[in-house]
């Protein structure tokens, strides 16, 4: 009698309720979870970190009340700026999903960042040891800086004070040098990728003799893009010598260790890459003076030798020998005088030529020859294609600046 009641109840249930398989139920949960939480940020502590032989990273993010399984695929591990380890405080961005074979939900991590100064410092030390072990800090791989660069590339923010400081130093020490700016963000999300790409772009551009990569001072978090692996590897791969100028003298970054030379500040970097024009001219004057003194001393020594010979007994006997030596003395004296005059004239001509060449390279002299520079929004416009009809610009001549409005579209 009881069995008949149970059979009737089961039959009624099957008629009124759709019975799902485990797979179908899991599939529906997976769809609901993924559409409800397409992207989330979550923070917590790492545990059970496993670096699988496949290259994928599996771990758990937990706090005092719950835990969440997580996976970071191999294709995304290269963007990590640190090596994840148990106990680290992190924040992760990703989408929630369900792993059907086990029926548990997990976060598919796209970004993983350390939290707090302590974690950043730990990430710094871990990456430093990793790159040092690969030989990226070795002195043997450092490239020497060119003694007289004609073109300098700068990777920094176009709105920062560091750029203005570097330009001021370069203009004062060697106004003829050309500066190419690769503007980037120097802090915040995505800054490291911009910096690395700018370094690669300047290498592809060619014609650049040395590169300065850096920014002004800031907190550890502000300077962090220069501690990321992508920037370090871009500097290491650069064919152009790189000077790192990050923060103040007390600040050290991974970029400092990889670069060919570390400068304590951006201004110091500008002083390191170019020599002082005044110093060069002074050296030339000193060289001319040294040559002149050397020639004068040599001539006087020869004259003394001649005087010694003409005063000797053998030179004065007989009369014919004396006359011959007197004649030779006159010829030698005239020859030495002519040689000295030619040498002195050559030295002065070289000095004047170098002075004129340096003066000709001055930007003001270039403008005085009939050239002009077009400015718009604080930048120099070097291509007509960058101008549109109606653009308000200023044109700089040798004797002043005038405003101008573009009519028609610029074309190359």
Query: Can you give the CATH number for the domain in which 194 is found?
Result: 3.40.50.10550
Q: Are residues 233 and 283 in the same domain?
A: no
Instruction: Choose the final residue of a domain: 114, 149, 170.
Output: 114
Does any domain span residue 128? Answer: no
- Tell me the pLDDT tens digit for each residue of 288-304: 888 888 888 888 888 88
Q: Considering only residues 198 and 366, tell me which one the structure prediction assigns the higher pLDDT.
A: 198
Query: CA 246 from chain center: how many Å?
Result: 10
User: In terms of Cα–Cα distance, which of 94, 98, 106 is closest to 25?
Assistant: 98
SS3 400: strand
Does any domain span residue 2? Answer: no
Domain that holds residue 100: 16-114
Tokens of 95: 């989408």
Q: Are residues 110 and 146 in the same domain?
A: no
How much is the average pLDDT of 187-206? 92
Lowest-confidence segment of 322-326, 355-359, 405-409 by average pLDDT: 322-326
Q: What is the pLDDT of residue 321?
A: 63
pTM score, two decimals?
0.48
Question: Do the beta carbons of residue 158 and residue 179 sit within 8 Å?
Answer: no
The C-alpha atoms of residue 37 and residue 162 are separated, in whole angstroms, by 42
The C-alpha atoms of residue 102 and residue 94 are separated, in whole angstroms, by 20
Does any domain span residue 34? Answer: yes
Does any domain span residue 126? Answer: no
The single-letter DSSP state of residue 319 is H
Q: Are residues 356 and 370 in the same domain?
A: no
Question: Do the beta carbons of residue 178 and residue 207 sit within 8 Å?
Answer: no
Q: Residue 245 — very low, low, confident or very high, per pLDDT cuts 50/70/90?
A: very high
Q: What is the pLDDT of residue 178?
A: 94
Q: Are residues 228 and 108 in the same domain?
A: no
Q: What is the pLDDT of residue 314?
A: 63
Question: Do the beta carbons of residue 210 and residue 146 sit within 8 Å?
Answer: yes
Does any domain span residue 145? Answer: yes
Instruction: Choose the final residue of a domain: 79, 114, 149.
Output: 114
Q: Are residues 166 and 180 in the same domain?
A: yes
The H-or-E segment that residue 138 falls in is none
Q: What is the pLDDT of residue 16?
A: 53
The residues, any chain, with a CB within 8 Å of residue 335's CB and separated by 6 or more, are: none
What is the domain-level CATH number for residue 67?
Answer: 2.40.50.140
Does any domain span residue 209? Answer: yes
The H-or-E segment that residue 278 falls in is helix 277-310
Q: Are residues 295 and 337 in the same domain?
A: yes
User: In terms of Cα–Cα distance, which of 251, 175, 169 is closest to 214?
Assistant: 251
Q: How many domains does the chain have?
A: 4
Q: Calculate the average pLDDT of the chain.
A: 84
Q: Are residues 167 and 244 in the same domain?
A: yes
Q: Are residues 229 and 330 in the same domain?
A: no
Residue for token pair 């005239």: 334
Tokens of 287: 């060289």
Instruction: Choose the final residue of a domain: 225, 244, 272.
Output: 272
Q: Are residues 260 and 171 in the same domain?
A: yes
Q: Are residues 81 and 176 in the same domain?
A: no
- Tell me the pLDDT tens digit for each residue of 59-88: 999 988 889 999 998 888 877 767 788 888
Q: Are residues 161 and 54 in the same domain?
A: no
Q: Are residues 357 and 371 in the same domain?
A: no
């Amino acid at each position: 009698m009881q069995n008949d009641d149970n059979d009737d109840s089961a039959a009624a249930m099957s008629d009124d309720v759709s019975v799902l398989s485990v797979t179908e139920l899991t599939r529906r949960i997976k769809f609901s979870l993924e559409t409800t939480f397409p992207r989330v940020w979550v923070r917590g502590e790492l545990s059970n970190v496993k670096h699988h032989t496949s290259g994928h990273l599996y771990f758990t993010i937990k706090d005092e009340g719950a835990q969440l399984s997580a996976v970071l695929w191999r294709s995304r591990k290269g963007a990590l700026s640190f090596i994840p380890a148990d106990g680290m405080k992190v924040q992760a961005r990703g989408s929630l999903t369900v792993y059907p074979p086990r029926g548990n939900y997990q976060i598919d991590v796209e970004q993983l960042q350390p939290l707090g100064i302590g974690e950043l410092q730990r990430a710094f030390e871990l990456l430093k040891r990793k790159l040092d072990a690969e030989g990226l800090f070795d002195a043997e791989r450092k490239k020497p800086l060119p003694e007289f660069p004609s073109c300098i590339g700068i990777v920094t923010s176009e709105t920062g004070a560091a750029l203005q400081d570097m330009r001021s130093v370069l203009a004062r020490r060697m106004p003829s040098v050309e500066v190419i700016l690769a503007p980037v963000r120097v802090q915040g999300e995505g800054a490291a990728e911009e910096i690395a790409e700018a370094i690669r772009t300047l290498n592809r551009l060619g014609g650049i003799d040395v590169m300065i990569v850096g920014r002004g001072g800031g907190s550890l978090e502000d300077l962090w893009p220069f501690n990321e692996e992508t920037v370090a590897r871009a500097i290491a791969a650069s064919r152009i010598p790189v000077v790192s100028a990050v923060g103040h003298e007390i600040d050290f970054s991974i970029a400092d260790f990889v670069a060919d030379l570390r400068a304590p500040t951006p201004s110091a970097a500008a002083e390191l890459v170019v020599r002082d024009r005044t110093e060069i001219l002074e050296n030339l004057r000193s060289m001319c003076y040294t040559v002149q003194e050397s020639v004068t001393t040599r001539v006087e020594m020869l004259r003394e030798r001649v005087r010694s010979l003409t005063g000797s007994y053998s030179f004065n006997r007989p009369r014919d020998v004396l006359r011959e030596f007197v004649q030779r003395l006159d010829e030698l004296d005239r020859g030495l005088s002519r040689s000295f005059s030619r040498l002195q004239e050559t030295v002065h001509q070289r000095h004047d030529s170098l002075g004129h060449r340096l003066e000709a390279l001055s930007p003001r002299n270039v403008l005085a020859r009939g050239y002009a520079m077009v400015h718009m929004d604080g930048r120099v416009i070097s291509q007509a294609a960058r101008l549109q009809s109606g653009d308000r610009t200023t044109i700089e001549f040798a004797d002043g600046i005038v405003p101008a409005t573009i009519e028609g579209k610029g074309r190359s």
